[in-house]
């Protein structure tokens, strides 16, 4: 029996274990992870790890010695398949039974798969784990034509990384612009133009009807009948939170495991954090949402750890995120969903600009492209929901800190 068992050895799980020791928690801690690796950073999987600029050792969240020094036990390559909330035990797919005093569920999500014919063919890939990317890289030399399905961050980053290998890349998006769910139109149009300038063929408002091939993929058939020849298909269409064992155990779930401001689920002594946790977020106008970001994983981990050691805090962190494509560094702070006004600050033609999003006259989010100053100084505007006039926000001669 462990005092704390953490299920999921990803960003949130790793941070929870580290935070418990940081908070001087002296009990026994185990982290159970389905992947065989110690916790590693996931963002590079569609960036520097995919492009070959960073070796795996460089994306480990902590070196192995860090965990040993803190007496944190890892049980890796095993998936938790059931939880008994009354007995306070869980079972892994190898039949191992583990007892817990407190349970932290940090399982992230599984990539959403296509459901159309051919979705299982060899050559069709997701990008969620190191193993996914290693498989993809193993096929890359022999591949010429790559089709990416999904114009969200992961699809766009993968497209950008793969153009560096001189591959022919086509990206297919169902909606009429990329990043439609997470950004305003100006940002979408800017990124579309960048990808086209780098040789990516972008097909917007295009549905996929099936994946062609017998054993191995040969192409993607679009809803309009066009067939895109493909040696590799990358599917980046979101994740499904990995919450089944917890839901089966009786935890209240929606789009994720429902948690309160301390990341407690509705089951006693069971917390949920990271991509799988549905929480009320003050920066989403009080809506219950899941955030898929390193920031959220880390900050919720700290909240759960503090609650366990009796230093209860509430999850209040301002959301932030980044995305690297080509030489463009996008940094976002806040959540732009529900904005009524978008103010352009700077000229996208210079490839350094920001978009400030307002709702009812208050700043709710900023997307900064190669504009670190705006990102750093704009945080306070988002944090405090500052009221600012659009013409002041648009005036690049005025630093954002002057408006805070
Ligand atoms: P994960 O890191 O996914 O960890 C969950 C772990 O739990 C996994 O290892 C999984 O195998 C394991 N698991 C699942 N079910 C079980 C089970 N039943 N038993 C045992 N183990 C289980 N965020 C940013 O902020 N910026 C970025 O630029 C960015 N880029 C990204 C690029 C890619 C390609 C991906 C995939 C994600 C990116 N993200 C980015 C998102 C970020 O990586 C996630 O938000 C973060 O990893 C969430 O952490 P987590 O611990 O909740 O989930």
Note the pLDDT tens digit of each residue in 206-234: 999 999 999 999 999 999 999 999 999 99
Residue nearest ligand 1's atom 3 by CA: 108
Between the CA of 275 and the centroid of ligand 1 the distance, in Å, is 7
What is the ipTM metric for this complex?
0.99
What is the model's pLDDT at position 36? 98
Flag whether pLDDT at 404 surpasses 90: no
Average pLDDT value for residue range 327-353? 96
Average pLDDT over residues 319-341: 97
Q: How far is the CA of 396 from the centre of ligand 1 (A)?
A: 36
* 328 has pLDDT over 90: yes
Compute the C-alpha angle 129/131/133, nearest 5°. Answer: 75
Which pLDDT band holds residue 292 (cuts at 50, 70, 90)? very high
- Encode pLDDT of 233-255 as tens digits: 999 999 999 999 999 999 999 99
pLDDT score for 69? 98
Ligand 1 probe mutation, 11, 62, 183, most atoms within 8 A of CB: 11
Short-list 127, 115, 144, CA closest to 211: 115
| Torsion angle of C-alpha atoms 305, 271, 315, 331, degrees rounded to 10 | 90
Q: What's the CA gap between 24 and 325, in Å, rounded? A: 40
Give the nearest ligand 1 atom to 321 CA. Answer: 25
Between the CA of 76 and the centroid of ligand 1 the distance, in Å, is 15
Query: What is the distance in A from the centroid of ligand 1 to the CA of 190?
Result: 28
In ligand 1, the atom with minimum distance to the C-alpha of 301 is 51
What average pLDDT does the segment 144-163 reach?
97
Q: Could you tell me the pTM of the whole model?
A: 0.97
Distance 24 CA to ligand 1 centre (A): 26
Of the candidates 329, 336, 349, 240, the one whose C-alpha atom is nearest the C-alpha of residue 290 is: 240
State the Cα angle at 297 between 288 and 49, rounded to 5°: 125
Question: What DSSP designation does 21 have?
Answer: H
At residue 302, the pLDDT reads 98
Angle at CA of residue 317, ends 313 and 321, nearest 5°: 150
Mean pLDDT of all residues in 88-92: 98
């Amino acid at each position: 029996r462990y005092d704390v068992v953490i299920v999921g050895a990803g960003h949130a799980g790793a941070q929870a274990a580290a935070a418990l020791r940081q908070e001087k928690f002296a009990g026994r801690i185990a982290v159970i992870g389905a992947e065989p690796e110690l916790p590693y950073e996931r963002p590079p999987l569609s960036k520097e790890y995919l492009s070959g600029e960073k070796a795996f050792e460089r994306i480990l969240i902590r070196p192995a010695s860090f965990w040993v020094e803190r007496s944190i036990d890892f049980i890796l390559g095993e998936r938790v398949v059931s939880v008994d909330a009354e007995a306070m035990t869980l079972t892994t797919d190898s039949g191992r039974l583990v007892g817990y005093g407190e349970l932290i569920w940090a399982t992230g999500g599984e990539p959403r798969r296509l459901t159309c014919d051919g979705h299982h063919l060899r050559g069709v890939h997701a990008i969620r784990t190191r193993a996914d990317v290693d498989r993809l890289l193993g096929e890359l030399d022999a591949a010429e034509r790559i089709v990416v399905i999904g114009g969200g961050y992961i699809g766009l980053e993968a497209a950008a990384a793969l153009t560096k290998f001189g591959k022919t890349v086509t990206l297919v998006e169902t909606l009429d612009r990329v990043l439609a769910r997470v950004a305003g139109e100006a940002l979408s149009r800017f990124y579309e133009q960048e990808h086209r300038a780098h040789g990516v063929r972008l097909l917007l408002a295009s549905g996929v009807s099936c994946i062609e091939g017998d054993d191995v993929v040969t192409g993607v058939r679009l809803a309009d009948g066009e067939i895109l020849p493909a040696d590799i298909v990358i599917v980046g269409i979101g994740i499904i939170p990995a919450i089944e064992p917890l839901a089966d155990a009786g935890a209240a779930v929606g789009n994720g495991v429902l948690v309160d401001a301390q990341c407690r689920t509705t089951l006693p002594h069971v917390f949920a954090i990271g991509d799988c946790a549905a929480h009320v977020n003050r920066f989403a106008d009080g809506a219950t949402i899941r955030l898929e970001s390193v920031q959220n994983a880390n900050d919720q981990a700290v909240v759960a750890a503090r609650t366990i050691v009796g230093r209860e805090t509430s999850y209040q962190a301002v959301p932030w995120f980044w995305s690297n494509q080509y030489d463009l560094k996008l940094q976002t702070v806040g959540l732009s969903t529900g904005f009524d006004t978008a103010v352009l600050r700077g000229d996208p033609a210079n490839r350094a600009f920001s978009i400030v999003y307002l709702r009812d006259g208050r700043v709710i989010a900023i997307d900064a492209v190669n504009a670190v100053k705006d990102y750093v100084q704009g945080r306070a505007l988002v944090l405090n929901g500052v009221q600012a006039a659009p013409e002041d926000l648009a005036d690049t001669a005025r630093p954002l800190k002057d408006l805070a």
